[in-house]
Amino acid sequence: MVLENGYTLGFLGSGKMGTAVLAAAIAGAEAAKAQNLPDAIVPGRFVVSVRTAKSRVRLQERFGDKVTVVTDNQKVIDESNVVVLGFKPYMAQDILNRLHYSHFTILISLLAGTSIESIRQFTSVNTFIVRATTNTAAQCGQGMTALSYQGEYHPDSPITLAVEWLFNQTGKFVMVEESKQDACVALCGSAPAFTYLFMEALIDGAVKSGLPLETAQTMAAQVVLGAGHMAQVTGRHPASLRGDVCTPGGTTINGLAILEDRAVRGAVIGALDKATNISQDIGRAANENTASLDQARVASHINLAEMAQQISISRRNTLNAARQPSL
């Protein structure tokens, strides 16, 4: 397969997460074009499918003619070399099973919990699958992505170069074993929301102490950014950085004592643990479906599309009953 500079990057689904990655990719591609990097493997065209007219208008208003927006998923597969999967995990089987993969396609799955093997079962041997757990800060180049590749990792392959270019535009990335992806869903995917909650509390506390809301909001954002930046540039453990600002008997150690007394640390650990477990549950649900798909394939020669539909209907019923989590 040839993956050349100017290739087409597709998106199946572009809501909060897909749009964040799309925005970073467009910005990066424009910057690369301006720099004229002949050896880079950078997308030159973007084609995106969504379900509703509302989302089509949203994307057209935001990106104009930089993006072709369609409602036909097959068109995205047919026209793209690399396709980002940006729909919800419970939709995977229903969407992917209906498509035909007539040429070799690299699929980058943003789906929480859903394993590479599940995606492979829902697609065809004509695909190469990469799992990427990221977050919405990707849209301003400050995302954190955990990457796992199907099979062996080849650092110099065009696939790796294209994927790593993409996630360099969205922020930082690390390679992880696929078995660690559920923990990454909790830390990279969910923890930004935990941090926003902490920021809200900082703002509320500052307002309670007399600061105007706008001032408190500006300060809280910079405090969180600054703390993260310090941890990054010094490479020091946060406990050590915290030690630097605790004057004996001072304001900080007294404030920290309240946080420890109210078990904030334990609550955060619990939140990450819960998010990891939910991601594992999503994965188990997908695996059960691929297992039932395999058994059905062996048991009879019924039409594959019909079978996929039957399984997805029974799955949708189960999922409706269980009310799937949003990640």
**Residues in the site for ligand NAP, rule: CB under 6 A?**
12-18, 49-52, 55, 73, 86-89, 91, 95, 110-112, 133-136, 189, 327
172 token code pair: 């930082």
CA nearest to 12, candidates 148, 119, 116, 108:
108
Cβ at position 87, least distance to ligand NAP in Å: 4
Q: At what angle do helices 213-234 and 191-208 cross, to 10 degrees?
A: 130
167 token code pair: 């996630």
Nearest residue to ligand NAP by CB is 15
Measured CA to CA in angstroms, residue 217 lies from 31, 129, 138 at distances of: 31, 41, 21
Q: Which is nearer to ligand NAP, 43 or 86 (CB)?
A: 86
Q: Which is nearer to ligand NAP, 206 or 315 (CB)?
A: 315
Cβ at position 146, least distance to ligand NAP in Å: 10
- Only one residue has tokens 């007399």, namely 210
Cβ at position 258, least distance to ligand NAP in Å: 30
CA nearest to 114, candidates 172, 66, 51, 185:
185
Phi-psi region of 25 (alpha: psi -120 to 50; beta: other; left: phi over 0): alpha
CB 113 within 8 A of CB 283: yes
Q: Which is nearer to ligand NAP, 38 or 64 (CB)?
A: 64
Q: Which is nearer to ligand NAP, 63 or 216 (CB)?
A: 63
- Residue type, position 258, single letter: I
Q: Which is nearer to ligand NAP, 12 or 77 (CB)?
A: 12
Q: Which is nearer to ligand NAP, 14 or 105 (CB)?
A: 14
Q: Which residues contact 110 (CB under 8 A, 6 or more apart)?
A: 17, 18, 21, 84, 85, 86, 132, 133, 134
225 CB burial (10 A radius; 0-12, 13-18, 19+): exposed
Cβ at position 137, least distance to ligand NAP in Å: 9
Quick one: how far is CA 311 from the chain centroid? Answer: 26
Q: Which is nearer to ligand NAP, 7 or 88 (CB)?
A: 88
Cβ at position 274, least distance to ligand NAP in Å: 15
Cβ at position 193, least distance to ligand NAP in Å: 7
Cβ at position 98, least distance to ligand NAP in Å: 9
